[in-house]
Structure 1
Amino acid sequence: MNKLQLLLFTLIIGISSITSAQEQKKIKIEYAGKLTIDNENYPGAKILTRDDAQQVHIEHGGANMWCDKAIHYSKDNFIEAYGNVKLKQGDTINMTSKYIEYSGITELAFASGDVVMTDPNSTITSDTLYMDRTRQQAFYRSGGTVVKDSSGTITSKIGRYYMDQKKYQFVEDVVLVSEESTINSNYFDFYSDTGYAYLFGPSTITTEESKTYCEKGFYDTENKIGYALKKARIDYDDRIIEGDSLFFDNNKSFASASNNIKITDTINNSIVKGHYAEVFKEKDSLFITKRALAITVQENDSIYIHADKIMVTGKPEHRIINAYYNARIFKTDLSGKADSIHSDEKTGITKLINIPRLSKGDKFSVVRKPILWNLENQMTGDTIHLISNPESEKIDSLLVFENAFVISKDTLSQNGYNQINGKRLVGLFNDKNELNKVDVTKNAQSIFYARNDKQELIGIDKSKSGSISILFTDGDIDEYTRFNQIDGNLFPESKFPEKEKFLKGFDWRDDERPRSVEDLFKDDPPLKLAVIKGLEDYIPQDDFFDQSLNDRINASKRIYKINPKKQKSLLLYPNDFDNLKWIKNNITVIKNTEYAPNGNMEADQIKNTSKKVGFITQSINETNGSFKYSIWLKGQGHVKINLQEMYGDFTVYNKLDVNLTTNWKLYEINATKENDGHKIRCAISNIVEGDTVYSWGATLIKIPKDQVSISQPKKDNNKK
């Protein structure tokens, strides 16, 4: 073979390969029961119908489609399929509908009428659905439903399915309903193979046990666990949990929180704050740390408890607060410190206790006893009990066990302190939460700076007795009485030995006293908050009809039903219901108040303006034939769409009762009219006061005779 022959052979093989590739891209008719030609109504098309044996079978690029009737435009590589349409792509994607149009050039399918698409993981249902085989995506924009058995049912106004990723993107009015929970969101990404859901914008997850709110979050619908970010909040029956980041396990009714946490007890009117917390709902317990603070809210003066760690346990009617290590308590007229503080809200007993962590013989052990301050008095002991009245929320009494010691500074001397110690102390408070009486029993000792009415120092009184009773006024010692006094002397200040000025165990700790809520934290180490990595921000989905898809559509040189505005209609002004061509009765039209199914702000609102029933209608110059009237509607209320006679007795040829929903739906009716000389009109009727009706895309098409038996009236699933 010479070079010229080789070149010609190669060229022929190349042309043959190109031709073969082009032929492979052509829509193929694998089977048809009957073939007819109707150039008057379908120029350049072949009309294919099924027979009794099987449906029309169509194939293109690995996808197969079956239908009762098809109109095939072979030159344009385009086909319309009618009646019991089934489309199958590979072993995974199956779609059924009443109608599909498909282009072999764009590989774009448009399905309408009870559309159902399934893959191994989920099922989509919608009135209309777009399927782009080139990008392996499906899209609806007039409301749809996705069902995944183990995760539940998802509805939304707009939905998009990325088949390769097994990913859905839902937009607007998104609701997922399962046996265990209901999720509401504005933007919702869902992976059908894992059941993972990503929530963006105001979102809620509601179960029988809880309600979780966030504006960015994740939920594993299979395992019922997730986390919430951005204004995150979980509501239980008796608690509200808020924080920068919340993790929750709905199987265990468990939640943990990080950073800027606030947990509110809605029954007991108390609050716990901190920067890490765990809540066990079933166990009625919570644990919180990192600047932990428990607040018991009272009418006049709240009580604040701070510690390294705080646990709250018990049923709502019997909450117990346990604050461990470096615990402190504060209210405006009382404050204290201890190794731990335990408060029982039912009994009203608050205990200040030291927990021995080092042996007494350990030379590094420093014992600082529990301490309490009230007005100008400092009280210490091995254990301190504060007893409150749970009903009045006022402090009733004070008990100090072992090594009780009361100190108050004599404000007129430079370094003088009134002191009382003994084994046990009992104190009583007045209605102002002021200590007004103290009894110290067993081996009581005292030092008092005695003064006359002019506050002149008389002397320093030091004594021992069996017990001492002291009365206070405005925090100052007003009167004291000794019982079973052993000895005692009143010394002039100049003759009082310096070493005798302090009783054994004296420890003035005024510098430790919390004088505000902020002081509770003054000795805490620097706070280091956890770094919350969280979720990526929401990325709005690209327009399904982007430039590349529009270029493919334009290249196909066909006008499809994919774009409702381009569909030929006998009606004028299909989107402008305010136009005079539309006759209005007892209604008014507000133009361009809602986004239409095509995504543009061009849908009109129709409102009733009187107590009477209203309607809007348009007639055409046709007196006979078969017609299909379709219109997009949404809103609230019950209306009708009609095909009827224009004059005469206004005969109704067909009507559909419509129960409006918040999602756009395309409603259709068909009717056949004999030639009686009267025009036909289409209408939206039965509009009453209080109805909210949005309308768009009204079309009226005359149905060719050969399609009359196939084009059936659209059923309204919401019809009552």
Structure 2
Amino acid sequence: MKKLFILLFFVQVAFSQTQNAAGKKTVIKIVYGGNLNVNENKFPGAKIFSKTETGQVRFEHEGMDLWCDRAVLFQDRNWVKAYGNVFIQQGDSVEMSSEYIEYDGDTKLAVSKRNVRLQNTDMTLTTDTLYFDRNVQEAYFNTKGIVKDSATTLTSIEGRYFMQKNKYQFLKDVNINNPEYTVNSAQLDYYTDSKHAYMYGPSTIKGEEYTIYCERGFYNTVTEKGYFVKKSRIDYDNRIINGDSLYFEKNTEFASATNNIKITDTINNMILKGHYGEVYKAKDSAFITKRAVAISLVETDSMYIHGDRLLVTGPAKNRVIRAYKNVKFFKTDMSGKCDSLFADNNSGITKMLRNPIMWNGESQMTGDTIFLISNVKTEKLDSLKVINNAFIVQKDTLSDDGYNQVKGLNLYGQFEENELREVDVVKNTEVVYYMYNDKNEFIGIDKTICSAINLTINENQIEDITFFTRPDGVIYPDKDLPKNARKLRGFIWRGDERMFSKDDIFDEDDNNLVLPVIRGINNAMDPLEEEKDPDEEIFKSTINTVPPKKDKKKFLEDKKKKANEKKKLVVQPQDTKKKSKEE
């Protein structure tokens, strides 16, 4: 890569010389020479000018004026070396000062050294050495540069400035320091007029109430709005937001995420996932859709809640989850479906609405409304309520088509160690129960009506039934009870809808979503650079006026050889360790 850098440099110089040879040669004009001297031993063929009380030495070349205290001009080579209080002005847009400069009038290449200061519009660049190509109006530094405006300071080890675009391209160890935020990036493009920053490589933005990480991103340093892709993450008010694409606004306290998103609630041990989400900090709320799922850790067992839309609201200790349309949930030995769901972390109540159904072990439960109540301190399931039209169905494991059934007005259940142990069904209860002896020999089918029933459950199977208040029932031999009489009114077996893993909560539409293409991952982040992507190696060497610092010695040797052959000098970056007495 370094050899390519040097080769491109010589190609550019040769091209500039060919152009000048074909056209009319423009010489460096002496506007004010001051005192004139010659020194054939040190500077053969050169004229030495120095300032007087009247003013500094001044030159002009194709719209650029140069002032200095002392200068050595090689007129036959159209090349000048300027020393002391050097100042360059190019039109109304560019002003540059330094202690030393070399300028080649044929190639229009300049090298400024020591206390270099480049001023344009409202920003100032300071560095130790700056290479300036007037042909394309681009400057380059690799000795750490500092760019300042009224409120912001930008620093980088290496960088370029594209004057026609008002754009800085910082290439190494970039830092932006502002009273409201800081930015650290591997590489960053910055537009001085719009104050827009485009980040490439590992980058971090830190504000008073947020931290953003990405490996490609855009940030408006004035409005503090941003768009981030590639391993992007926002740490925001006890929430961590990840996604293929993130959008952020500080003033409205809003963030959104697209594709493979994950929002982590660090206080409530909750994770939200989906392919589109929004976070409203001021309202303490988050909205998720497109394969949306909320994951809540209950003891050591996670509960997964899915819906077409998920809304999480409330302050950290009072979070409420709302799920809408095609709602499903799953945890070990328990799953369920309904049209909408409401879960309150503060009260520990989860409410299933509109056609709810729940499976606990092998038992299917339905009713108008189902409540799951958790102990908020232990985070374990405490109790269960099914209000209106409560119905329990459990497939009989020892018969081919038998179903144990219990129905009544309401159902109340109790959990122990997250397992359902006891159930009470009250008001207008009915039972169909397949009975066996200790040897699992069939006894008959118990069909009973009473006011209330108590069920004891062990290992998710009905172990014992107790009837209360004037039970009226018969145990029928198998041959004496018709098939149509073995099912209670309202019986529906929905075992094929039961979920056996967390993946079962998603349907075919959820699993076949077509995700939008994220801009900036495989194309340019900057819309002004559609054809050039800073991730591409060729774009990293658009300026080739100078070689990398490590090749300086070889570059000087090659340049001296070329100068002897062509009897022509070009701009030469000097070794900073060897300074002539004239410097």
State whether structure 2 residue 21 is matched by structure 1 residue 142. no
Q: RCO greater where, 1 or 2, for CA within 8 Å and sep 6 or more?
A: 2
Deviation string 1:5-43 (CA, Å, 9 cap, x unpaired) is xxxxxxxxxxxxx99x857x1111212332233334433
State whether structure 2 residue 409 is matched by structure 1 residue 398. no
State whether structure 2 residue 411 is matched by structure 1 residue 425. yes
Question: Pick from 568, 571, 577: which aligns with 1:557?
Answer: 568
TM-score, with length taken from structure 1: 0.71
Cα separation, 2, equivalents of 1:219 and 1:477: 61
* Structure 1 residues 158 and 556, CA gap change in structure 2 (3 angstroms): farther
Match of 1:501 in 2: 486
Amino acid at match of 1:134: N
Match of 2:506 in 1: 521
Q: Give the C-alpha shift of residue 386 in structure 1.
A: 0.6
Cα separation, 2, equivalents of 1:318 and 1:508: 37
Cα separation, 1, equivalents of 2:237 and 2:357: 37
Amino acid at match of 2:415: F
Residues 106 and 556 in structure 1, CA contact (< 8 A), matched pair in contact too: no
- Aligned-residue identity in percent: 47
Match of 1:116 in 2: 117
State whether structure 2 residue 436 is matched by structure 1 residue 451. yes
Cα separation, 1, equivalents of 2:334 and 2:81: 84
Q: Secondary structure at the match of 1:541?
A: helix
Q: Give the C-alpha shift of residue 556 in structure 1.
A: 7.6
Q: Secondary structure at the match of 2:301?
A: coil
Match of 1:599 in 2: none
Q: Give the C-alpha shift of residue 65 in structure 1.
A: 1.3
Cα separation, 1, equivalents of 2:384 and 2:509: 28
* Structure 1 residues 523 and 541, CA gap change in structure 2 (3 angstroms): closer
Residues 170 and 187 in structure 2, CA contact (< 8 A), matched pair in contact too: yes
Deviation string 1:121-158 (CA, Å, 9 cap, x unpaired) is 532110111111112111111111122446x2221111
Match of 2:69 in 1: 68
Amino acid at match of 2:367: G
Q: Secondary structure at the match of 2:164?
A: coil
Amino acid at match of 1:89: Q
Q: Secondary structure at the match of 1:317?
A: helix
For residues 376-391 of structure 1, the aligned pairs below 5 Å read 376-391=362-377
Cα separation, 1, equivalents of 2:48 and 2:187: 43
Deviation string 1:73-117 (CA, Å, 9 cap, x unpaired) is 222222222222110001111111112221212211111121111
Q: Secondary structure at the match of 2:435?
A: strand
Q: Give the C-alpha shift of residue 179 in structure 1.
A: 2.5
* Structure 1 residues 489 and 299, CA gap change in structure 2 (3 angstroms): closer
Match of 2:541 in 1: 542
Q: Give the C-alpha shift of residue 181 in structure 1.
A: 2.0
Cα separation, 1, equivalents of 2:139 and 2:373: 68
Cα separation, 1, equivalents of 2:47 and 2:185: 47
* Structure 1 residues 556 and 144, CA gap change in structure 2 (3 angstroms): farther
Q: Give the C-alpha shift of residue 405 in structure 1.
A: 0.9
For residues 130-169 of structure 1, the aligned pairs below 5 Å read 130-149=131-150, 152-169=152-169
Match of 2:327 in 1: 327
Residues 463 and 485 in structure 1, CA contact (< 8 A), matched pair in contact too: no
Cα separation, 1, equivalents of 2:285 and 2:546: 57
Cα separation, 2, equivalents of 1:405 and 1:261: 38
Select the structure that is richer in helix. 2
Residues 148 and 192 in structure 1, CA contact (< 8 A), matched pair in contact too: no
Cα separation, 2, equivalents of 1:77 and 1:517: 77
Q: Give the C-alpha shift of residue 700 in structure 1.
A: 5.8
Q: Give the C-alpha shift of residue 543 in structure 1.
A: 5.8
Residues 279 and 287 in structure 2, CA contact (< 8 A), matched pair in contact too: yes
Cα separation, 1, equivalents of 2:290 and 2:150: 42
Residues 340 and 352 in structure 1, CA contact (< 8 A), matched pair in contact too: yes
Cα separation, 2, equivalents of 1:86 and 1:148: 20
Larger Rg: 1
Q: Secondary structure at the match of 2:469?
A: strand
User: Which ranges of structure 2 fall in alignment gaps of 5 or more residues?
Assistant: 1-19, 525-532, 548-554
Deviation string 1:210-234 (CA, Å, 9 cap, x unpaired) is 2222222222223322211111222
Residues 437 and 443 in structure 2, CA contact (< 8 A), matched pair in contact too: yes
Aligned residues: 537
Match of 2:423 in 1: 438
Q: Secondary structure at the match of 1:532?
A: coil
Q: Secondary structure at the match of 1:347?
A: coil
Cα separation, 2, equivalents of 1:50 and 1:130: 25
Q: Secondary structure at the match of 2:487?
A: coil
Cα separation, 1, equivalents of 2:472 and 2:351: 34
* Structure 1 residues 72 and 100, CA gap change in structure 2 (3 angstroms): same
Match of 1:699 in 2: 578
Residues 256 and 277 in structure 2, CA contact (< 8 A), matched pair in contact too: yes
CA RMSD of aligned residues (A): 2.5
Cα separation, 1, equivalents of 2:52 and 2:179: 45
Match of 1:289 in 2: 289
Q: Give the C-alpha shift of residue 547 in structure 1.
A: 9.8
Q: Give the C-alpha shift of residue 68 in structure 1.
A: 2.0
Match of 1:303 in 2: 303
Match of 1:345 in 2: 345
Match of 2:5 in 1: none
State whether structure 2 residue 115 is matched by structure 1 residue 101. no
Amino acid at match of 1:182: T
Q: Secondary structure at the match of 1:267?
A: coil
User: Which ranges of structure 1 fall in alignment gaps of 5 or more residues?
Assistant: 1-17, 355-368, 565-629, 631-697, 712-720
Deviation string 1:158-204 (CA, Å, 9 cap, x unpaired) is 11111112222211111122232222122222222222222111112
TM-score, with length taken from structure 2: 0.87
Cα separation, 2, equivalents of 1:439 and 1:485: 16
Residues 245 and 518 in structure 2, CA contact (< 8 A), matched pair in contact too: yes
Residues 299 and 380 in structure 2, CA contact (< 8 A), matched pair in contact too: no
Q: Secondary structure at the match of 1:485?
A: coil
Question: Pick from 450, 456, 466: which aligns with 2:451?
Answer: 466
For residues 596-611 of structure 1, the aligned pairs below 5 Å read none
Q: Give the C-alpha shift of residue 72 in structure 1.
A: 2.1
For residues 576-655 of structure 1, the aligned pairs below 5 Å read none
